[in-house]
Homo-oligomer: A and B are copies of this chain.
Amino acid sequence: MSSKTDKIDEFAFIEALAKHVAEAPEALGLNDDGAALWFGDGRKLVVVADMLQAGVHTLSNASPDQVICKALRTNLSDIAAMGAAPAFFLCTLALPKKPEAAQIQQIVSALDKEQKHFGVSLIGGDTIGGKGPFTVSITVLGWAAGPLLRRSGAKIGDDVWVSGHIGDGWLGLQVAQQKITSLSSAHEKSVLRRYEYPEPRLKLGVALAGIAHSAIDVSDGLLGDAVHIAKASGCALTIRPALVPLSAATQNWLRDENDPETSRVSLLTGGDDYELLFTAPTEKADKITGLSAALGINLCRIGKVCAGEGVLLENEAGQRHTAPKTGFTHF
Contacts and interface: CB of A to CB of B under 8 A. Distances in A.
A6 B51 contact: no
Contacts of A51: 92-94, 126, 128, 135, 137
A49 B92 contact: yes
A128 B26 contact: no
A321 B7 CA distance: 58
Nearest to A32: B124
Contacts of A2: 101
Given A56-B131, A132-B131, A139-B139, A4 B100 contact: yes
A95 interface: yes
Sorting the interface of chain A by its residue count into under 10, 10 to 19, 20 to 34 or 35 or more gives 35 or more
Nearest to A92: B51
Contact of A27 (B3, B24, B105, B121): B121
A261 interface: no
Interface in A277-297: none
A331 B93 CA distance: 12
Interface string A89-115: 011111111111110110011011001
Contacts of A22: 121-124
Interface in A187-237: none
A21 B100 contact: no
A324 interface: no
As for how many copies of this chain the complex holds, the number is 2
Nearest to A109: B20
B130 A131 contact: no
Given A90-B49, A141-B47, A7 B121 contact: no
A186 interface: no
A144 interface: no
A23 B52 CA distance: 25
Interface stretch (A9-17, A177-185, A244-252, A310-318): A9-17
Nearest to A34: B124
A258 interface: no
A330 B50 contact: no
Interface of A: 2-10, 12-14, 16-17, 20-24, 26-28, 30, 34-35, 37, 39, 45, 47-53, 55-57, 88, 90-102, 104-105, 108-109, 111-112, 115, 121-133, 135, 137, 139, 141, 330-331
15 contacts: A5-B101, A6-B100, A8-B101, A16-B104, A21-B111, A21-B122, A26-B88, A34-B124, A49-B124, A50-B92, A51-B93, A57-B128, A97-B331, A130-B133, A132-B133
